[in-house]
């Protein structure tokens, strides 16, 4: 890791320019090959999954219809799995259910057949006899605990309860209740959020085959080394016997972080048993039903402040629904908790975060990773507090916002790259927040007088997102990347960071180009395959550019320096020097490992310290129009002010902020998984509603560059998840401004807004006026 | 649940309408299932959603999307005739529709999005018989006639007599929908379209109201209403219609409208919306229509 003062890019280069994407042409022309487009391998057959129709039950028997011709159908059951565990954090999830099912759609039997039509008929010829057990389907019942539906694996969770994970975070005064009693104003509220489906355009899919080397797998995924680890475990193989490569991937949003592991094992099981290559591609319905979603979350908050609105105490409980198995829940819960205090200065904090198991499909990674849930809560609470104090929310937030030199709830000293105030002020000025608020109120009065039924509103949110793995995560992970010198002075980047549409390939090339002076066109990007690339860690947690990018930068700089040294010594062009070096040394490769900045210290036990090396900051201002008859919310305009450290590729950077905000808007206004008895009622794109281009607001996006000295390209920070965090509370604040209805529970669908207008879903803040 | 069946189905085209009537009649006689394929925008979705078929029940699929006698728009005096296989996009662009039945243009603009409008047809919309059908709601407002034909001959079914229950109809299975005939209201008639869907496009209606009215001296003299997604069939709101036809506009108030709408429909809660919300919106859009006529 280079020190900050050496960070100036050597060439004026391409960082900071919106060059054309290196994956663009193939995707536009349709020549990019997603896993379903790969040509069939000799003898290849299709795989399918038979799943549980009930949320919880004991498997009495699996019967294969004797009148069906099974001769050319491969059948795999739990007894065929060498080690029936999906390796992740806790080993509680089976590859195939054997005796009991713990959520609807849990896989029980795998089938494969060359004839696709016959395969669909074969699924109907498998008869499951399952004795239903009483399921737990919501957080409150799970927490209450009389029906324990989850068995804690050794070392995990709290035995004989549904509690999968619990954290406690404290700061300042030990007795927060006593401290609350000393506050001028105390306010309590409860805020909840719902499931969200990632709805990447390309559903999950993999292709697997075996040969003398072991198992091979190509698929749509974010993290080849997670899949690798899962295959090693399930088949009890040596690491070198497993080869996992990413195919061109059509979106992930976290949905292809952990789920591909289980699908990969399924395909590899069928392939091993049949001796033939097996491809499994989910259709949209199966994908929505079976794969992970955003964790629903309930936050209860009590805060205390001074008479002038200075915040003193935050007391909070965060409860998340893990679903039936642990998967990534402890990490999601942790990130949720670490963002739960928002961008505010709290001298005294007591927070508890709990994840409970329910009989619903396991929830998992989704852009924001727990933070959107808790930021929704704290931002709505701050709006409620402002209403209670009779001040404008932006005034209250500005007064208490974290600035350089402050400490966060975990006691992290904010040393550098803190732009909360700048983002907030730019958000206010770009949107003309104060003037627009007054104008809108006047316009709404005019409309009311004329009997018009639409109302305008404006609202804002201010938020941050930690870049990279939480706490000691990066230190443990030791992410690596490599750059090879190729003949003719070309370079090849080798990392496990996948381009899933967000532009990794392009941005890494830009970073490498500026670090060594080689043109972007002369830099290749190796397909992320576990046989070829070092383990850079997963493509998650807003870490790709900031963490892996900085390693790529160090590698490229080393190669560049070595070639230039050769050039200085022996003359010639860069390419000639490179070729001489290759002849001399055989191969020229730089392999580096990520080193977190030296000041980053995290104490896992005490849950204190530097939660993240740095934060990206953002302010959203939403203008909405709400129809008082139909309660439809039309988001007219979204002002986005995001501090990205350094925009390596400004267009894609804006694309992340705008796309992420649109996804946040979908979560706020449209998206809702409708459940009935543990089953999903709307597993289709026609009834799981995401915004289309027509629903998208006009975006007014400003990139703020407050560099992180240790970030690549002159200070880039991670921004992939940031925009997901603040859209919902900004829109809800604007809806509140327009209608007077303060919604504390997502989503703000017209139906819910209508209910709230009748007082049936009343705001849950309760006021405790000062004594 | 399978598109895989498509490869096993027999796809067919016939020369003209009379050949089609014969063919459909024969298939009916032999008990062979068949479908007419127009835009395919409903049928393909159904294929994707259902269970795979046993191999002896594959339907014969007859493509009618290009059949001349089922296509085109013709204005004949005050009668507008639209071929059953005419696409929404064609309706949106046709001068006679734009001039004499702008409600249809407005409705067509809200169907799916451009891709669906380029393929989808009124014949398919009617035959599917979904209570959410936007096209049928608009046709109901016009009191349209559905022209059907079979070996037994041609007949005109008033739209109000077509639907008998959820996706059931008085049209016999071998009766082909040939066209829709509309007796146009006067040129100064008021029309109204409001679709409340799940989003701005590619949305199925939660509630949609199509309405037309001719007003003479403060009194509605012709009125038609069609409401989607609030009942097992397209709701014709008979009591509300009667209110408009029987009461001078300046005597109609919101309370009267609400009472009529409440007695006309009892919408249900489903995956798209809730019963109470639908009823609330249904009243709101009828009131909006009434206001556009100049009601109190
Ligand atoms: C993405 C999407 C969005 C949609 N949005 C809307 C919307 O906003 N509003 C709406 O109302 N609908 C919508 N639909 C449904 C559909 O597009 C319409 O109902 C359309 O009018 C169907 O017409 P079609 O020609 O495609 O029918 P097809 O699918 O070709 O046929 C449907 C049925 O009608 C029968 N049929 C067709 N023509 C005839 C005929 N002449 N005589 C007898 N039977 C016939 C067929 O045999 C079949 O059973 C949408 C569909 C999709 C896929």
The per-residue pLDDT for range A578-630, each reduced to its tens digit, is 999 999 999 999 999 999 999 999 999 999 999 999 999 999 999 999 999 99
Contacts of B285 in chain A (CB under 8 A): 629
Strand A523-525 and strand A490-494: the pairing is parallel
- Predicted pLDDT at A442: 98
Helix/strand/coil (H/E/C) assignment for every residue in A373-385: HHHHHHHHHHHHH
Asked if residue B52 is part of any domain, the answer here is yes
Considering the domain architecture, whether residues A203 and A106 belong to the same structural domain is answered as: yes
Considering the domain architecture, whether residues A109 and A235 belong to the same structural domain is answered as: yes
Considering the domain architecture, whether residues B127 and B216 belong to the same structural domain is answered as: no
Range of the domain at A685: 401-470+608-748
Nearest CA in chain B to A687: B272
Range of the domain at B249: 194-293
The reply to whether B4 touches chain A by the CB within 8 Å rule is yes
Average pLDDT of span B278-288: 98
Domain boundary (B36, B63, B90) is at: B63
Considering the domain architecture, whether residues B176 and B215 belong to the same structural domain is answered as: no
Asked if residue A271 is part of any domain, the answer here is yes
Asked if residue B188 is part of any domain, the answer here is no
Asked if residue A352 is part of any domain, the answer here is no
Considering the domain architecture, whether residues A414 and A507 belong to the same structural domain is answered as: no
Considering the domain architecture, whether residues A463 and A485 belong to the same structural domain is answered as: no
Could you tell me the CATH number of the domain that includes residue B179?
3.30.465.10
pTM above 0.90, yes or no: yes
Considering the domain architecture, whether residues A577 and A506 belong to the same structural domain is answered as: yes
Interface of A with B in 55-114 (CB under 8 A): none
Residue of B113, B116, B126, B129 to test ligand 1 pocket, by largest number of atoms within 8 Å of CB: B116
The reply to whether A153 touches chain B by the CB within 8 Å rule is no
Contact predicate B236/B140, CB 8 Å? yes
Average pLDDT of span A450-479: 93
Burial class for B108, CB neighbours closer than 10 Å (0-12, 13-18, 19+): buried
Domain boundary (B149, B183, B217) is at: B183
Confidence of residue A1 (pLDDT cuts 50, 70, 90): very low
Asked if residue B232 is part of any domain, the answer here is yes
Contact predicate A730/A460, CB 8 Å? yes
Considering the domain architecture, whether residues A128 and A83 belong to the same structural domain is answered as: yes
Considering the domain architecture, whether residues B143 and B75 belong to the same structural domain is answered as: yes
Could you tell me the CATH number of the domain that includes residue A94?
3.30.365.10
* H/E stretch holding A765: none
Considering the domain architecture, whether residues B73 and B178 belong to the same structural domain is answered as: yes
Contact predicate A553/A268, CB 8 Å? no
Residue of B3, B110, B127 to test ligand 1 pocket, by largest number of atoms within 8 Å of CB: B127
Considering the domain architecture, whether residues B203 and B273 belong to the same structural domain is answered as: yes
Residue of B3, B11, B25, B41 to test ligand 1 pocket, by largest number of atoms within 8 Å of CB: B41
pLDDT (tens digit per residue) in B240-280: 999 999 999 999 999 999 999 999 999 999 999 999 999 99
Contact predicate A675/A737, CB 8 Å? no
Coil, strand or helix: which one is A339?
coil
Average pLDDT of span A293-308: 98
Could you tell me the CATH number of the domain that includes residue B232?
3.30.390.50
Site from B8, B52, B204, B289 to mutate, A interface, most A CB atoms within 10 angstroms: B52
The reply to whether B57 touches chain A by the CB within 8 Å rule is no
Considering the domain architecture, whether residues A660 and A736 belong to the same structural domain is answered as: yes
The count of domains in chain B is 3
Considering the domain architecture, whether residues B88 and B174 belong to the same structural domain is answered as: yes
Contacts of A689 in chain B (CB under 8 A): 198-199, 203
CA of residue B126 to ligand 1 center, whole Å: 8
Q: Does residue B57 carry a pLDDT above 90?
A: no
Considering the domain architecture, whether residues B213 and B277 belong to the same structural domain is answered as: yes
Average pLDDT of span A92-119: 97
Considering the domain architecture, whether residues B214 and B173 belong to the same structural domain is answered as: no
Structure-block tokens of residue B111: 């169907």
Domain boundary (B155, B183, B211) is at: B183
Whole-number Å distance between alpha carbons of A584 and A321: 58
Considering the domain architecture, whether residues B148 and B200 belong to the same structural domain is answered as: no
Nearest Cα to Cα of residue A685 among B3, B76, B45:
B45
Q: How many CB atoms lie within 10 A of CB A160?
A: 11
pLDDT (tens digit per residue) in A631-681: 999 999 999 999 999 999 999 999 999 999 999 999 999 999 999 999 999
Contacts of A755 in chain B (CB under 8 A): 276-277
The reply to whether A285 touches chain B by the CB within 8 Å rule is yes
- Predicted pLDDT at B7: 78
Peptide bond preceding A309 in cis form (omega within 30 of 0): no
Q: How far is A621 from chain B (nearest CA, A)?
A: 22
Average pLDDT of span A359-368: 98
**β-strand partners of A354:** A166, A319
Strand A311-323 and strand A205-211: the pairing is unpaired
Considering the domain architecture, whether residues A737 and A664 belong to the same structural domain is answered as: yes
Contact predicate B25/B174, CB 8 Å? yes
- The reply to whether residue A695 touches residue B7, judged by beta carbons under 8 angstroms, is no
Considering the domain architecture, whether residues A64 and A212 belong to the same structural domain is answered as: yes
Q: b/e string for B215-234 if b means 16 or more Cβ within 10 A?
A: beeeebebbbbbbbbbbebb
Asked if residue A576 is part of any domain, the answer here is yes
Q: How far is B241 from chain A (nearest CA, A)?
A: 21
pLDDT (tens digit per residue) in A9-38: 344 589 999 999 999 999 999 999 999 999
Structure-block tokens of residue B40: 């395919």
Considering the domain architecture, whether residues A724 and A632 belong to the same structural domain is answered as: yes
- The reply to whether residue B280 touches residue A754, judged by beta carbons under 8 angstroms, is yes
Considering the domain architecture, whether residues A439 and A586 belong to the same structural domain is answered as: no
Considering the domain architecture, whether residues B90 and B179 belong to the same structural domain is answered as: yes
Q: Residue A490 to residues A261, A493, A586: CA-CA distances in angstroms?
A: 34, 10, 15
Contact predicate A75/A110, CB 8 Å? yes
Whole-number Å distance between alpha carbons of A499 and A248: 8
Whole-number Å distance between alpha carbons of B41 and B52: 19
Contact predicate A676/A282, CB 8 Å? no
Asked if residue B189 is part of any domain, the answer here is no
Asked if residue A217 is part of any domain, the answer here is yes
- The reply to whether residue B8 touches residue A629, judged by beta carbons under 8 angstroms, is no
Domain boundary (A290, A312, A338) is at: A290
The residue nearest atom 48 of ligand 1, judged by CA position, is B43
**β-strand partners of A454:** A627
Considering the domain architecture, whether residues A623 and A675 belong to the same structural domain is answered as: yes
Whole-number Å distance between alpha carbons of A143 and A150: 12
The count of domains in chain A is 3
Asked if residue A658 is part of any domain, the answer here is yes
Asked if residue A330 is part of any domain, the answer here is no
Considering the domain architecture, whether residues B138 and B82 belong to the same structural domain is answered as: yes
Angle of CA points B103, B104, B105, to nearest 5°: 90
Nearest CA in chain A to B195: A630
Ligand 1 environment, Cβ below 6 A = B 35-43, 45, 64, 70, 84-85, 111-112, 116, 119-121, 123-125, 127-128, 133-135, 176-177, 202
Asked if residue B245 is part of any domain, the answer here is yes
Domain boundary (A560, A593, A626) is at: A593
- Predicted pLDDT at B55: 73
Rounded CA Rg of chain B: 20
Contacts of B288 in chain A (CB under 8 A): 629
Q: Does residue B290 carry a pLDDT above 60?
A: yes
Strand A698-704 and strand A633-643: the pairing is parallel
Whole-number Å distance between alpha carbons of A165 and A355: 5
Asked if residue B13 is part of any domain, the answer here is yes
Considering the domain architecture, whether residues B101 and B160 belong to the same structural domain is answered as: yes
Domain boundary (A247, A266, A290) is at: A290
CA of residue B176 to ligand 1 center, whole Å: 14
């Amino acid at each position: 890791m280079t020190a900050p003062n050496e960070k100036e890019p050597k060439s004026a280069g391409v960082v900071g320019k919106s060059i054309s994407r290196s994956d663009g042409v193939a995707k536009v022309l349709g020549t990019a090959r997603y896993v379903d487009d790969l040509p069939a391998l000799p003898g290849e057959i299709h795989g399918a999954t038979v799943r549980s129709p009930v949320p919880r039950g004991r498997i009495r028997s699996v019967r294969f219809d004797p009148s069906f011709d099974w001769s050319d159908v491969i059948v795999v059951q739990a007894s065929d799995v060498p080690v029936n565990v999906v390796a992740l954090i806790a080993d509680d999830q089976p590859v195939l259910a054997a005796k009991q099912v713990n959520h609807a759609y849990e896989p029980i039997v795998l089938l494969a057949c060359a004839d696709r039509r016959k395969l669909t008929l074969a699924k109907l010829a498998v008869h499951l006899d399952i004795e239903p057990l009483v399921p737990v389907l919501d957080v409150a019942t799970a927490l209450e605990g009389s029906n324990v539906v989850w068995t804690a694996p050794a070392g995990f969770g709290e035995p004989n309860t549904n509690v999968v994970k619990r954290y406690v975070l404290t700061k300042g005064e030990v007795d927060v209740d006593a401290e609350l009693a000393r506050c001028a104003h105390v306010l309590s509220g409860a805020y909840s959020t719902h499931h969200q489906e990632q709805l990447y355009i390309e559903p999950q899919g993999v292709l697997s085959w075996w040969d003398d080397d072991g198992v091979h797998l190509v698929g749509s995924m974010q993290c080849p080394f997670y899949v690798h680890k899962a295959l090693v475990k399930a088949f009890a193989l040596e690491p070198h016997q497993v080869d996992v490569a990413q195919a061109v991937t059509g979106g992930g949003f976290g949905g292809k972080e952990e789920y591909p592991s289980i699908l990969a094992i399924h395909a590899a099981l069928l392939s091993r048993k049949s001796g033939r290559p097996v491809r499994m591609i989910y259709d949209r319905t199966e994908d929505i039903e079976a794969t992970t979603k955003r964790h629903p979350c309930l936050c209860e908050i009590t805060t205390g402040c001074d008479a002038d609105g200075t915040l003193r105490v935050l007391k909070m409980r965060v409860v998340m629904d893990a679903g039936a198995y642990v998967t990534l829940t402890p990490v999601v819960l942790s990130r949720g908790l670490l963002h739960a205090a928002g961008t505010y200065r709290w001298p005294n904090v007591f927070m508890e975060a709990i994840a409970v198991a329910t009989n619903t499909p396991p929830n998992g990674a989704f852009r924001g990773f727990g933070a959107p849930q808790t930021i929704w809560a704290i931002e709505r609470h701050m709006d409620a507090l402002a209403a209670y104090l009779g001040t404008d929310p932006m005034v209250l937030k500005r007064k208490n916002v974290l600035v350089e030199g402050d400490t966060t709830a975990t006691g992290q000293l904010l040393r550098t790259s803190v732009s909360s105030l700048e983002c907030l002020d730019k958000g206010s000025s770009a949107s003309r927040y104060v003037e627009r608020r007054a104008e809108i109120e006047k316009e709404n009065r005019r409309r009311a007088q004329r009997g018009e039924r639409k109302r305008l509103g404006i609202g804002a949110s201010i938020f941050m997102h930690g870049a990279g793995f939480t706490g000691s995560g990066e230190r443990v992970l030791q992410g690596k990347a490599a750059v090879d010198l190729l003949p003719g002075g070309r370079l090849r980047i080798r990392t496990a960071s996948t381009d899933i549409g967000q532009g990794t390939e392009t941005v890494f090339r830009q970073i490498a180009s500026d670090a060594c002076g080689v043109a972007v066109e002369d830099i290749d990007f190796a397909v992320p395959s576990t046989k070829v690339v070092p383990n850079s860690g997963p493509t998650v947690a807003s870490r790709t550019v900031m963490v892996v990018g900085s390693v790529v930068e160090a590698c490229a700089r080393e190669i560049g320096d070595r070639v230039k040294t050769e050039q200085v010594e022996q003359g010639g062009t860069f390419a000639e020097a490179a070729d001489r070096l290759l002849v001399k040394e055989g191969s020229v490769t730089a392999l580096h490992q990520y080193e977190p900045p030296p000041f980053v210290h995290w104490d896992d036990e005490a849950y204190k310290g530097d939660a993240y090396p740095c934060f990206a900051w953002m302010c959203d201002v939403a203008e909405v129009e709400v129809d008082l008859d139909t309660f439809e919310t039309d988001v007219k305009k979204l002002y986005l002010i995001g501090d990205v450290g350094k925009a390596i590729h400004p267009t894609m950077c804006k694309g992340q902020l705008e796309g992420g905000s649109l996804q946040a808007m979908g979560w706020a206004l449209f998206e809702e998984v409708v459940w009935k008895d543990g089953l999903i009622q709307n597993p289709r794109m026609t009834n799981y509603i995401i915004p289309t281009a027509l629903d998208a607001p006009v975006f007014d996006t400003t990139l703020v560059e407050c560099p992180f000295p240790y970030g690549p390209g002159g200070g880039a920070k991670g921004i992939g998840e940031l925009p997901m965090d603040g859209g919902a509370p900004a829109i809800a604040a604007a809806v509140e401004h327009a209608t007077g209805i303060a919604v504390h529970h997502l989503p703000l669908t017209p139906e819910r807004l209508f209910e709230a207008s009748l007082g049936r879903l009343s705001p849950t803040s309760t006021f405790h006026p000062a004594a | 649940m399978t598109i895989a069946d498509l490869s096993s189905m027999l796809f067919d085209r016939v020369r003209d309408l009379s050949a089609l009537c014969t063919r459909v009649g024969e298939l009916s006689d032999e008990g062979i299932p068949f479908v007419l394929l127009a835009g395919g925008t409903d049928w393909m979705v159904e294929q994707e959603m259902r269970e795979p078929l046993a191999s002896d029940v594959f339907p014969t699929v007859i493509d009618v999307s290009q059949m001349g006698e089922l296509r085109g728009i013709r204005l004949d005096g005050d009668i507008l005739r639209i071929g059953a296989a005419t696409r929404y996009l064609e309706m949106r662009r046709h001068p006679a529709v734009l001039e004499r039945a702008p409600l249809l243009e407005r409705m067509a603009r809200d169907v799916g999005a451009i891709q669906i409008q380029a393929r989808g047809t009124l014949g398919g919309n009617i035959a599917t018989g979904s209570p959410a059908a936007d096209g049928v709601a608009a046709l109901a407002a016009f009191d349209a006639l559905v022209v059907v034909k079979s070996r037994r001959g041609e007949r005109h079914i008033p739209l109000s007599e077509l639907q008998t229950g959820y996706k059931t109809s008085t049209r016999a299975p071998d009766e082909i929908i040939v066209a829709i005939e509309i007796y146009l209201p006067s040129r100064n008639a008021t029309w109204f379209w409001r679709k409340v869907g799940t989003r701005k496009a590619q949305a199925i209606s939660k509630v949609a109201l199509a309405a037309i009215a001719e007003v003479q001296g403060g009194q509605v003299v012709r009125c038609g209403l069609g409401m989607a997604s609030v009942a097992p069939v397209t709701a014709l709101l008979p009591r509300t219609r009667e209110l408009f036809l029987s009461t001078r506009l300046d005597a109609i108030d919101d309370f009267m409208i609400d009472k009529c709408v409440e007695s006309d429909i009892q919408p249900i809660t489903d995956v798209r919306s809730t019963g109470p919300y639908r009823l609330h919106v249904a009243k709101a859009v009828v009131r909006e229509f009434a206001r556009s006529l100049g009601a109190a």
